[in-house]
Structure 1
């Protein structure tokens, strides 16, 4: 695939947005929850609101590249605020709503935010606590919080400021957008630094525009598609889906409530969705346990259906004809079993895009057998989220696909994955030494991930270099590989974390899914018992032991898990053990359970 499109990119995100509005003004742009239903807005209606808010920011004195923070859950107003910042020439600084007050203040101070969009009173409280240390912050705009009409104003009040400004400067949005250079700062996304303080990744307009265009040129999404967007917009994965929407023109139903994902799928009926592997693992486990609870003939039909589906999918991948008897059997199972699995996600999904962590190959193939394609992709904040992704026509399970058109991937020393292209960050904000360390001498971005490229250019990620460990016997272990295998084996698993660096054997910490365990409890005479009571029971330990034995049977001798323990709580974002994109903070879990891990070796 040629990369000529890179030479024809829109100069910036503001122009990209204005061009999208001009191309399809009356097509649906967004849906968002309102009351018991969903409200819908066109691109023209979205543009009208974005222009008002952008002009309001200009009226407040926001200048080119000045930072404007957004501390909010994923919602329609987040999108409006971000696009308004782009059209005002500012630079969005993202803050997770779960970030504590101290880190929120640090991010706003380090980035020198001039204006902040704060979702509600909970977010406002974080600012009040540290307002004295934020001299650059001149105004806070709240979506749902309590405004005082002075230092804190409502979104409507900002729009009214914009109306007055537009009356005096009717062409200001177009002239401001035209002045934004491709290499100008568009976004600061803060990630955890090695010092413990978050570090800001400086992402340029060129990178965001490129990401969307690289998806569009592959012809996998169009104006007819409908996305369900729940991912945190403070995360690069969420932001890149917005860039793709501006490039391709599809509509997005937006609702950041994670507990509503499955319900929203059934109601909205999206054609695609981006998600973290944990979402697929949880759905897989739920379907498996529900079927096991049915038992009898239904369970036998279920397993026979997937046995057939996997065989048909294998033949098709190999380019072989499906024998007529198998084809007939598959059609029957599709009606009886697979269609019901697809209906759980609305029945119209063409594919899911999985990112932010490794997806187990067996789980991806299981969904594919049911007619649900999961395209695994790969990237990091430092390269504007997307570096490689599989394509519906050339999907290779177990890989994260080929490099995006117009970008490059190579394997460096110690099998480290290196990236180069328009999507690579400018650097870390106010951290020149860390910026220098992030690049090779010839200018490639170091990812810190270990991987390989096959003869067709498909990239496989085998783990984080810093997570790989060597046992005292000298054998290397890739923990994420073992962990994802357990997720495919045990439908009750939530997290399975492997440790053993410089030790003589491997151990694991396990958490179980509270919802799945509640069902399990009902089937095992323990209904009503708490999670901690369940996981301490002999019955639960025996159940987990069986799955660990099954895991060990497929591992190399030095990888087998010799000792393990079930934690008395599941990991969560609130506890600081999961990121908002549901990645495990391995070092936090290890620190929190240091005594337990040490006891394994006593």
Structure 2
């Protein structure tokens, strides 16, 4: 099956378009790319199954027909609780085609968190992935009275519930004869100002808020973010690989709706555990990823290099040095000397190319955001011809407001504003955004909406940043997170925390504390997988504990955010071991060398376990809930100042 070509980019900046909503965009894509590959996924036999845009439309129309005939009205809210998979995408387009609003839920949420979001959003229907997710819903079923139907993607193990009219297998939706006229009639009623999706913000400082993003917001963003497809000539051989959660605005809008606009095929990950192997199979050319992936890859590479014979280590270090020098010329937009070009070609073919091959070998670029990547990691990845373009945005601004692009980039920044965005820095350093990508407001929360958008239409992002002389934006931290020490010094904790985490892959989270204090301290958590592997290799655990650790590692490989039985007990022992303390101490000392004296971490404590979503310590996007940590672990911070 052919893949689709970006020569048929639909929405483009400066080009007039009659498209006013997402379903119309999808239908235009189907018309232009009917027989071409839309996506592929692995079936239960391990074989890749390919689906064309035309076949996808039939599925979408069947599901949309079912929704409309089942009584879904324009403006109703329908929630989806699932990992990213083809059914999520089909249901999303079906919901939007029925005039309803998609409410994405993170599959890692606890039953009580799901209950809050379903009730607050006034969702009337829920799509659930499988038995595991359905069990969370069964636990709260009596507390979500507005949900009148629950539809399951994978019916295995859920059969006992299907006797009730409330429960249904998704295959029943797809078996409905599509009524194109009925669906088109509903699509015609959807205007640019109508809400398309509701995205609940992570809530690092309180309850999540439902950000309402309109069809017009999405169309404006897609029209403005067309540089990558044009410049890199995304074409017939290109394919993206998807494993990030669709509940996140980046994967939902930039990842999914973006590829509809470009006409880019997708391969869906079977599971998190399968990602490393499937990347080599799929050989994606476009990749969305979170910074931690690159941080872990870099740490792993450096660790493996350290095990090589001395001669091979020297060759690697030479290649790395040459690659970094080459990237500095690129980044500063200076002519590259011929001698350096020759050395880089040798270094790349001899060493650096192999690292790119670990990502499939064909990646044209990565787009990443959410948190800054340490400069040394960015530079190294670029040296390996793994071009990472950092972007910046937020849910309330329809995902991306600033981006580095192939034509304009500067490592260590998040780029310049996209075409429809105005940006300025307020007197207190806060980043302000204005343009057609600014959201419609928070659902049932006018007070918060007025606080977010001022009378002149500027969105107050809550982030502190600076714009350099060339117009590139650099993010510092959240405005509310700034620490003012007892000596009156303003400290940006995120910069310190990122430096600590970048030193060693075993560190999961670093929370810097020191507001009103004489110096800074840090509460550090360990990455459970890395800590368990280290403990097994270094005999921190006895034989019985090692067997338990290996079993837990298998579970974590499948579900990295889970909390298997027995994990906390093992982590408590590991976190108190002298070898672990020395390893973390080295990381903190190395980070301190890169920081000013006032930013130095004077004391740290290794917590006995990692932070967890179900403990209310981190958000579904793995951001630390600072207020919760400060309050919950006050006794630990107080103790560090007494010692």
- Does the alignment reach a TM-score above 0.5? yes
The alpha carbon displacement at 1:378 in A equals 0.8
State the Cα deviation string for residues 353-379 of structure 1 (Å, max 9, x = none): 111222222211111111111111111
**1:544 correspondence with 2:559:** no
Q: Give the secondary structure class of the aligned counterpart of 1:414.
A: coil
In structure 2, what is the equivalent of residue 123 of structure 1? 133
Q: Does 1:152 align with 2:167?
A: yes
Query: What TM-score, normalized to structure 2?
Result: 0.88
* Cα separation, 2, equivalents of 1:324 and 1:518: 48
C-alpha distance 258-582 of structure 1, shift in aligned 2 (>3 A): farther
Matches of residues 474-489 of structure 1 in structure 2 within 5 Å? 474-489=488-503
Is this contact kept in 1: 2:422–2:433, CA < 8 A? yes
Shift of 1:532: 4.2
The match for 2:269 is 255
Q: Secondary structure at the match of 2:258?
A: helix
Verify: 1:601 aligned to 2:641, yes or no. Answer: yes
Of 242, 246, 249 in structure 2, the residue corresponding to residue 236 of structure 1 is 249
Which residue of 593, 605, 608 corresponds with 1:553? 593
Deviation at 1:66, TM superposition (A): 0.8
Q: Are the equivalent residues in 2 in contact too, given 1:408–1:421 (CA < 8 A)?
A: yes
Per-residue Cα deviation, 1:541-562 (whole angstroms, up to 9, x for no partner): 2232223222212211111110
The residue aligned with 2:603 is: 563
Moved more, 146-155 or 85-94: 146-155
SS in 2 for 1:137: coil
CA contact (8 A) 2:279 2:360 kept: yes
Residue pair 1:9, 1:209 contacting (<8 A) in 2 also: no
**C-alpha separation in 2, matches of 1:297 and 1:571:** 41
SS, match of residue 209 in structure 2: strand
Distance 1:210 1:494, change over 3 A: same
Quick check: 178-187 or 188-197, which moved more?
188-197
Whether 2:216 is the aligned partner of 1:216: answer no
Hey, what's the Cα distance between the residues in 1 that align with 2:531 and 2:440?
Answer: 46
SS, match of residue 509 in structure 2: strand
Q: 1:395 aligned to 385, 402, 409, which one?
A: 409
Partners of 2:111 and 2:433 in 1: CA distance: 34
Structure-1 residue corresponding to 2:296: 282
Q: 1:132 to 1:571 in 2, by over 3 A?
A: closer
Q: Does the aligned pair in 2 maintain the 1:277–1:358 contact within 8 Å?
A: yes
Gaps of 5+ in 1: none
Cα RMSD, aligned residues only: 2.3
Q: What pairs with 1:260-339 in structure 2 (closer than 5 Å)? A: 260-339=274-353
Question: Deviation of residue 195 (structure 1)?
Answer: 7.9
Q: Does 1:203 align with 2:213?
A: yes
Map of 1:452 onto structure 2: 466
- 5 Å matches for 1:367-406? 367-406=381-420
Q: Distance in 2 between matches of 1:582 and 1:194?
A: 10
TM-score (structure 1 length as normaliser): 0.93
1:422 paired residue number: 436
**Matching residue of 2:201:** 191
Q: For the structure 1 residues 319 and 542, does the alpha-carbon distance in structure 2 shift closer, same or farther, using more than 3 Å as the test?
A: same
CA deviations 1:89-109 (Å, max 9, x no partner) are 110011112222222122222
After TM superposition, the structure 1 stretch with the greater mean CA deviation from structure 2, 520-529 or 335-344, is 520-529
Task: Tell me by how many angstroms 1:575 deviates.
Answer: 4.6
SS at match of 1:601: helix
The CA deviation at 1:579 is 2.8
Q: Alignment partner for residue 12 of structure 1, among 21, 28, 33? A: 21
CA contact (8 A) 2:423 2:433 kept: yes
What's the CA shift string for 1:528-547, capped at 9, x where partnerless? 48554444232332232223
Runs of 4+ in 1 over 6 A off after TM superposition: none
* Cα pair 1:212 1:244 within 8 Å, conserved: yes
Aligned equivalents of 1:132 and 1:319: distance in 2?
61
Indicate which of 411, 427, 432 corresponds to 2:446. Answer: 432
Partner residue in 2 for 1:493: 507
Partner secondary structure for residue 400 of structure 1: coil
Measured after TM superposition, the shift of residue 314 of structure 1 is: 1.2
Per the alignment, do residues 280 and 420 of structure 1 end up closer, same or farther by CA in structure 2, a change over 3 Å counting?
Answer: same
Shift of the 41–556 alpha-carbon distance from structure 1 to 2, 3 Å rule, reads same
Whether the aligned pair in 1 keeps the contact of 2:13 and 2:419 (CA below 8 Å) is no
Aligned to 1:443: 457
Question: Is 1:74 paired with 2:84?
Answer: yes
Deviation at 1:13, TM superposition (A): 0.4
Alpha-carbon offset, residue 435 of structure 1: 0.9
Q: Deviations over 1:170-228 (max 9, x none)?
A: 41222221221001011111124588432211110111222222222552563443111
Please give the per-residue CA displacement for 1:424-463, whole angstroms capped at 9, x wherever unaligned: 1100101111111111221111110001112332111111
Question: 1:292, 1:489 → 2: CA distance?
Answer: 15
- What SS does the aligned partner of 2:428 have? helix
Deviation at 1:325, TM superposition (A): 4.1
Contact 1:293 1:523 in 2 (8 A): no
In 2, Cα distance between equivalents of 1:369 and 1:194: 35
2-side partners of 1:354 and 1:112: how far apart? 32
Distance 2:421 2:270 in 1: 31
- Partner Cα distance (1:536, 1:300) in 2: 36
Is this contact kept in 2: 1:276–1:581, CA < 8 A?
no
Count of residue pairs the alignment pairs up: 596
Of 25-34 and 297-306, the range deviating more from structure 2: 297-306
How far apart in 1 are the matches of 2:329 and 2:227? 29
Aligned mates of 1:95, 1:270 — CA distance in 2: 27
| Residue matched to 2:372 | 358
Q: CA deviation at 1:512?
A: 3.4
Note if contact 1:236-1:381 (Cα within 8 Å) is conserved in structure 2. yes
Runs of 5+ unmatched residues, structure 2: 1-10, 550-569
Decide which of 73, 98, 108 is 1:88's aligned counterpart: 98
Q: Name the CA shift for 1:170/1:354 in 2 (closer, same or farther; >3 Å).
A: closer
Q: CA, structure 1 residues 317+435, in 2 after alignment: closer, same or farther (shift >3 Å)?
A: closer
| C-alpha contact (below 8 Å) 1:3/1:406 kept by paired residues | no
